[in-house]
Structure 1
Amino acid sequence: MSTPLRLDAKIVVGAFLASGTVHLVKPEVFEPLMPSWVPAHREVIVGSGVVELLCAVGLLLPSTRRAAGLASAALLVGVFPGNVQMAVDASKGSNRAFQAVTLARLPLQLPLIRGAWRAGRG
């Protein structure tokens, strides 16, 4: 019998299911956040949504949990600089709510990374 999925990993699953779905259904939401040097913005956005969904499903399945946990942690680490850039860009605007959200989510990335990593470590 496999170990049940921990609460922190369940939160990663929920976050990836929600975010991955938005990436596929409304990719235009993410287009302003893409750095100019990244080619094929729409394709990268849709691709990252697919990866998030695959990681979420992989975390739910005991047979793929280890690989999905490590891939999820790597994905979260990989997109962290983009989240920092989003907060920097938001600080230049006048939307105080958006500024607060982009700043508040930065420290929340750490427990997500930890939850994914722990799921990958068994």
Structure 2
Amino acid sequence: MKPLIVLLAVFALCLGITALAGNADINLSGRIAMSAMLSFTAMGHFKFPGGMAMMMPPFIPAKKQIVLLTGVIEVLAAIGLLVSSSLRITGILLIVFFLLILPANIYAAIKKVNLEKADHSGNGISYLWFRVPEQIFFIAWVYYFTINVSSG
């Protein structure tokens, strides 16, 4: 829920600022908003690596290293969204990334992982009724503001 709030709040703020500047720029606002959201979620990878490692099944090795690597990937994607020449490739890679992390979110919900506390006091399976549509929304957002824009 927090990433969605960051995304929408930053989008509204940027859209308002660009409108006040004389030209409401929905595309720039959308990319800045996703960049801010990715920066926000990347912080969690570095602040809560233990809890995030619990989101992966036991058979996956080097969980904390994967958590840190995916945090770096999110930071790089956040930067890529702000570089016009890299929009299309950043968009494609970010959509693939969102698809690849969805199973971890499903596993975490099934195991009731609370990533901030690194325990099993999370919301559980009911969380997926929000998380899966949210993930689809993020994918659509990235497509609209990167691939759709750069191919148009």
- Confirm or deny: 8 A CA contact 1:70 1:120 kept in the other structure: yes
1:81 and 2:108 aligned: no
- Which of the two has higher C-alpha Rg? 2
Same amino acid, percent of matched pairs: 22
Amino acid at match of 2:142: A
Alignment of 1:47-58 (within 5 A): 47-58=69-80
TM-score by length of 1: 0.80
SS in structure 2 of the partner of residue 33 of structure 1: coil
| Structure 2, unpaired ranges of 5+ | 1-25, 114-119
| 1:13-92 aligned within 5 A | 13-90=35-112
* Equivalent pairs, count: 117
Deviation at 1:101, TM superposition (A): 7.5
Deviations 1:90-110 (A, max 9, x none): 29xx84x62377322221111
> What's the CA shift for 1:55?
0.6
Separation of aligned partners in 2, 1:102 and 1:15: 20
In structure 1, runs of 5+ residues without a counterpart are none
1:37–1:30 Cα change, 3 Å: same
Aligned-CA RMSD value: 2.6
Q: TM-score, normalised to structure 2's length?
A: 0.66
Q: Which has the higher contact order (CA 8 A, sep 6+)?
A: 1
SS at match of 1:30: helix
